[in-house]
Structures are given as structure tokens and as C-alpha cells.
Chains A and B, each alone.
Chain A
Amino acid sequence: MHVAHLSLTDFRSYASAEVALEPGVTAFVGPNGQGKTNLVEAVGYVASHSSHRVAGDAPLVRQGAARAIVRALIVRDDRRALIELEINPGRANRARLNRAPIARPRDTLGLLRSVLFAPEDLALVKGDPAERRRFLDDLLVARAPRFAGVRADYDRVLKQRGALLRTAAAARRGGPPGRRRAEAEAAFSAAGAGDVLSTLEVWDAHLAAHGAELLAARLELVEALRPLVAGAYAALAPSSAAADLVYRSTLSTGGPPDGDADRDGDGVPGAHGLSTGLGKSVDRAVLAELLRARLLEVRQAELERSVTLVGPHRDDLLLSLGDMPARGYASHGESWSFALALKLAAFELLRADDGDPVLILDDVFAELDSHRRRRLAEIVAPAEQVLITAAVAEDVPAELTGAWFDVAEGGVARVR
């Protein structure tokens, strides 16, 4: 697939911009701060409904404007889809497909699939677990858009459960003075604390059900990614140790004592065993049961801390090079190679599913040494569409020739 036209209204620095695009390589070149990333960020937004640079939508709306609109004309085989997203910070976004309103913007996910490489990717290796969870979940959504719903439901269950834990905690402490206290006491009034606990059990069940769905999908995804990441890493850094991934679940840490094997032989691991090693088809019902059991184990601690302590929102993806964890041990260059390998693996996976996703390379070549630069260019060059940004012409590898836009002073002009 490729983007044939991008149109922006009040998005980032652009009051308006119209950019006609073609398959093949397109480079956006211009000095820093001129709006190159803003352009490709908009393409990424259409694909994922979020920015690779900021968590919220507010910074995406041009200073002083009330809302931003991004339109992208997507061509896949011979079919065309015009996606329009209206970004309303603080309120619900709106979407139109081929000019007809869509009830939920999230129903346009999957129409454009893209993989975006950016300097921020280094955080996949060096940053917090949240970065790696987001990488996995974004990829799940890109492969199967229904996971946007699974993710949203899970987040909502977490919020509801968190609110209940806080109510319970406030009531146990006698509560802070004022309104909150009255509410907390009301929650305990008739049936006493047992009432909060019985609702907690209901949320446990829902957390377990939604969490298991997310967890099973992540485990399966990691299994599919492993060989691809190892292969991509070896191509980028041939002399380095082998790259590998292990999904570390909060289900498997702690747990029953000495339970690190599948003792009862039911295909389900005890503590520590829940990594990608076990594999292929992890049964959702079994995971849900494990989650519920873990929730019961940590209940006391949860009531004390008022947070949900187990579940996919606390999991991590462990990256390793040979025997060593990448985080904290890998050199800067190795970390870069690992981050690129993760993104290239995502690209391979999406491509195998359903044809080439749009590749976006935001200012990455400047970060790489000549070997990695050449390898990356060779790998991405055959893709149906590659969008590149670079501050100077020398940062666009020779392997990637194609259309050329100058970006300067708020304008985007095609020069080649």
C-alpha cells in the first residue's frame, strides 16, 4: 500500500499543506525545525492514531487553532480509501472514510499500516518497560485492528479497578476529610467492606478476561518476532552476539514457591516459566485463571497500595545480546541496531500478513554508522513506499533515490 496524497489543516506547524505522493522513495529534506517530522508524524498518526513523539494529542494542533485535520488518500492494489481524522484535544476525535462519517475513529485503524523509524526508537532498548509494551501493542493493533478495542477495554478495567482500590483504601483509613470520605463510607455502609470485596472480585474477573486476551496475543507476537529480530540484528551487526527477546510477565515473577516448572504437565508453566519459550498456543482461559489466582495472591498488597500489581500493564519485554541484557549493557551502537532490528521485524511481520506497510524513516540515517546505514537502506529500498526525512542531502543514502521535497519556512516543495 502507499499514501497517494497527504493533506493537513492546522496540524503542528502547518496551517495547511497539500502533498502529492507516489510509490517508491520520497525524501523530505531541509534544515532542522522546518516541519519535516511534522509531515511524517501525520502519516504515522493516520496509521496508529497516536504520535511517535508525544503521548497526548494537544501538541499536534497548531498553536492557536481549535482542532487539526489530517487527510490521507491510501491506495492499496487498485482500491483507494480517503481517511480524514479530526483531532480534538480534550474531546472525542472524529473520522470520515471516503467522506462518510464513521461512528468510532478507531474503526479506521488498519486501513493504513506503517512502520515508523525515529531517533525516539532508542528508548525501546534503553527506556522503561512502557516503551516496549507500547511497541508490542501498537504492532498487535496494526496486525489486527480489533486489538485497539481489547487494549481500550483493558485500560478501562484497570481504571475502574484502581478507583475501587482507592475507595477501599480510603474507607480502611477512615478516609480523608470531606466529600471523599462520605463517598468512601457510603460504599461501605450497608453490606460493609464485604461489598467492596465482592465488587472487586467482579473486576478481577474482567481484568483477568481482558488481560488474558492481551497477554495471549503478546506472547504469540513475541514468538513470531524472535527469529525476525535475531535475523535483522545479525544483518545490521554481524560481529555482535545474538539478539533475543523474552516476554516477562507479572504472572511468572513471585508466584508459588519453587514453582518454576510445569509440574502438573498441563502445558501451563508455574512461576518463572511464562516466557516465550513455552509458546505457540497459550490458552486464554488458562491465562485468565492464572491471572485471577495471582490477583488473589497480591490482594493485600494491592489494597495497601491502591494499584493493580499484576497484569499485562506491568509486564516487560526483555531484550538480550548473548547472555547479557541489552538494557544497561549494550553499547550505543548495539542499542541502535537492536532498536532498528525490532522495527525491521515489525515490518517483516506486517509484510508477511498483508503486503508492504508504508515505511517511514524519520531522521535515522544521521544516527547510524556507514555499515548500518547501508544495510538499512538495502533492506528498505524494495518496499512499496518509503518516506524519509533528513536535515542534509548527505544523510539520504545513495541506495534510496526517488522523489525529493525541500521543506523550509513552513512550505513543502517538490524539486525532483
Chain B
Amino acid sequence: MSDLLRIIGNGADVPDQPIPEGLGDKDLVAIYRWLVLLRAYDERSVALQRQGRIGTYALYWGEEATQAGTLYALEETDWIFPSYRQNSIGILRGVPPSVILAWWRGYGGDVGFYDTRHFRTGPICVPIGTHLPHAVGTSWAAKLRGERTASLAWFGDGATSEGDFHEAMNFASVFKTATIFFCTNNQWAISTPVSRQMATKTVAEKALAYAMPAVRVDGFDPIACWKATKDAADRGREGGGPTLIEAFCYRIGAHGTADDPRLYRDEAETEPWKAWEPLSRMASFLDRLGVLDESGAEKIKAEAKQTIAEAVTEMEAIETPGLEVIFDNVYAKDRPWMFIEGLEELRSVGQRELVKPLNAGAPADDTEIPEEGV
């Protein structure tokens, strides 16, 4: 990992680097706070899934730096496009955590969907790589309107194999849009290792083909993620075009709650990566700097846990929406005739009963199919 941009060392053989210009003590603590909030959300979500209180969940344990550090480098007016892996990034922009939890619980209707325009945060994107051209579009629109707005999209190493990745990279470089392609190279796409995903040694070198600057950073280092993103955004705003950032890390957890990595990788390989995970690393960094001591860090953790606990209560108090949700949010105005008739059908015949669980009477494993996807 020698070619990686890295600021935070490990307190032993890997030294700390000077803190980049633009980050004060307050910022460092704020980034730590974000890391901790994301972690609290993530760990709680996994527990909720195990208890059957939310559905299949895509965890990101260890990948908090690529979110918190990165987002902290952007302006509130910049557009961000998360994939499922950054599913809760909205909470760092003010989306109530209960809203995103509700999406995973799967209420339907308006529940679980944040105001994408207000938060300048795209909806959580599930089809791999398909949101990358969108990030090009929003930054291009900003350029056409003379705004200094950048856009950033997160995606994985696997996503670089999709056509949409290459099409978006090409558009961005041809039209010099202020787009930041942020690849979290966690070295796995479900069960497929990065060595089987691409023949190149790095993701970053793919930018060469698009005459685009690229940088590789330690994806477990929130300050390195901040620095790379800040530079890319600054350059983009000045008309310097797009940047590809490769945040090199490792998927320490499973792909999702339905995934069992023991099927395809030796968990002993995962062990050494845990030492780099961003939370304890950032905490000891702040301690070394004398910015935040252990009790300060503990306080932040307790606050985050409390925030998420309240969000869970809030989320579970939400009532399941009525049957008209099936026909909501599809078209702008009046419901078309087939929706009006459908609603009548649904109400009168009670065709799809509201009370009975979907698979009542079916074998129990019906709903427990191993599937990850997401």
C-alpha cells in the first residue's frame, strides 16, 4: 500500500503525516463524530436485521472513512450519489436516520424515501454503476448554469466492469465536468475477488484511458479521503474536469446480511485488515494529537448510540401505509384509469389481503432464501 495517500499512521511503524491545510481540530472531531454515527447506524442495522425488524441489509463496517472523510470535503450544494453500500450517507446531511432505517424495513409509500432534492443526495442506488452517468449530468448541468457545484458518486471495484462506469468516465472527461468518481476498492464484489474483476493492478490506472487525473488513497483513512476529495472538488470547480479516486480498503464484513463469506474466502485473510479500521485508528490519532482523549471519544460514541436508538423507536412507530401506496408516486398528476380501477379492485374484493402475512401456510424457508444482491 506504498503508493497510497495516507495521513494517519498506525501509532507504530507507520508515521502520521502533517494534517492537510484546511482542517482544524474542530473539523477532525467532526469527522470522527461522523465516523462514529455511521458505525452506530451500521451495527444497529445488522442487529435489527438479525431480529427480523428490517430486511436484508448491506453493511459497510470498516468503510466509514470513505464516506465521512469524503463527504466532509464537499459543500452542501454538491451532489452526492450513494450506492447501497453508502446507504446511510444521507444522515450526515441531515436525513433522519429513521427514514433510511424505514427503507430497509420496507414500509413502502412515502416512508423510507428522503427528499433527494433538498439533501442533494441521490436515492440509494442498487443497480451497479448506473448512477455514475447521473453524477456527470448533475455536474454538467451546474457547469452550464455557471454554478460551482461538484458531484460525487460512490461505487465499488466490481462496478468498474459495467459499461456505465466507462461511459460516465468518458463523458466527464470529454465535457470536463466537475465529477468525482469515488471507487471504494474493497477488493471484493460479493464473492468475486478484485483479481478476477480486472487485469489491472489498480482501479486508478483506468483513468489514464480517459485522460483523467487519478489518486489512490488509503480507504481506511478518513483524512486521506478528505484530502483527495477536497483537491478533486477544488480542481473541478475551477474547470479542471473530473477525478477518479480509488480508496483502497478491504471488505471486512459480509457483502450483506444474507451473505456468508466463508463460502468463498478464508476469513484469516480478513483479520490483518481489521487493524486498519478507521474508528479506532482515528480515535488514537486524535489522542496522539491531544485533540480528543478516550473519555471524549466514549462520549461521542454514547451520543451516537443514543441517536440511533431513538431513530429505531421512531422508525418502528411508523404505521404501515394503506393500500393506496401501491398507486402513489408513479405519475405526476392524476391517477390513470387503471390505477383508479385497481384501487377499487384492491378495496372491494380484498384481493390482496392486508392482514395475512404473504406466505402464511407456506414452508417457513420461503422467506429465508439465501440471497444477497442488493
Instruction: Tell whether A and B belong to one assembly.
Output: no
